[in-house]
Amino acid sequence: MTNNIKEQIKADIQQAKQTGQLRTERVREIVRAAVSQVVSEFKEGSNELRDLVKDAVSTVIENFQEKGSELKEEVTASIEGALEAVNTKRHEALAKTQAEVKQLQAKLDQQEEQIQQEVDGILAGLQEKSQDTTANTQTAINSAIAAITNSEELSLLKKRYAQLQAQLAIVRANLAARYGGRSVEVKEYLDDAKNWVNQARPQAEAVVTQVQQKSSQLDDKLGEAGSAIAKKERQVKQILKELLQTAVDGLKDKEHTHK
């Protein structure tokens, strides 16, 4: 079985060389296609599966001996292709779980919104009723309502939560890209990050220029990563890495600002 896969990889590489189409992306596709044919016959995490990946990568190395020490890109592409084939089922299960989490999050958001609306209605009723009371009582009720509805601590916590969720989504995008995730999976994580970034962005409040710049940089990097994925560019992993660093730097700056 392994010999057949090695022969197929070798034959596909030779054919690509002859037609002048042997780019690193093509190497990844060749290995992914070959390994995908037999990966379902092995138990996940088994030694046989690991040996299959090693044989696939070794075959690529053997067919690029003429490059000497300059075959890093081909080796990287072969590893990526093998990992993508091996982890296809896991990533499908992960995507399904992620979709379920989104549904639960949407349900939670809806329930929280309903609670908020009910609370707002109750407080509005209290404020309206206070019009019939003495000036001192009215002032006391209005102060109490203002203290409840304008909690700076609660606002900061919500913003911090959104910031951390955005950073987590970017981490997931990096992991998916690094360990064989599909481009659509990476894009979904980036879309999540964009949504959380928008929720974390200050609205009507004054913010430090540096924080505004970091937020703008994050937007630019998110857009750049999305464009690279759409074009299936090789440098997408580097862009995602830079995006993660930008997100980390931005959170640090915001944390100092709040302090």
pLDDT at 9 over 70: yes
pLDDT digit string, tens, across residues 79-94: 988 988 888 878 888 8
Higher pLDDT, 89 or 100: 100
Q: How confident is the model at residue 2 (pLDDT cuts 50, 70, 90)?
A: low
| pLDDT average, residue stretch 115-143 | 87
Predicted local distance difference test score (pLDDT) of residue 206: 41
Q: How confident is the model at residue 199 (pLDDT cuts 50, 70, 90)?
A: confident
Could you give the count of Cα atoms lying within 13 Å of 3 in the half-sphere of its Cβ? 0
Is 181 in contact with 171 (CB distance < 8 Å)?
no
The neighbour count for residue 78, using CB atoms within 10 Å, is 29
Q: Tell me how many degrees the CA angle 101-102-107 measures, rounded to the nearest 5.
A: 95
AA identity, residue 210: Q
pLDDT digit string, tens, across residues 37-68: 888 787 776 788 888 889 999 999 988 877 77
Q: What is the CA radius of gyration of the chain?
A: 26
CATH no. of 151-259: 1.20.120.660
pLDDT at 73 over 90: no
Q: What percent of the chain has pLDDT over 70?
A: 85
For residue 232, is it left (φ>0), alpha (ψ between -120 and 50) or beta? left
| pLDDT average, residue stretch 168-174 | 88
The helix (run of H) or strand (run of E) holding residue 50 is helix 47-62
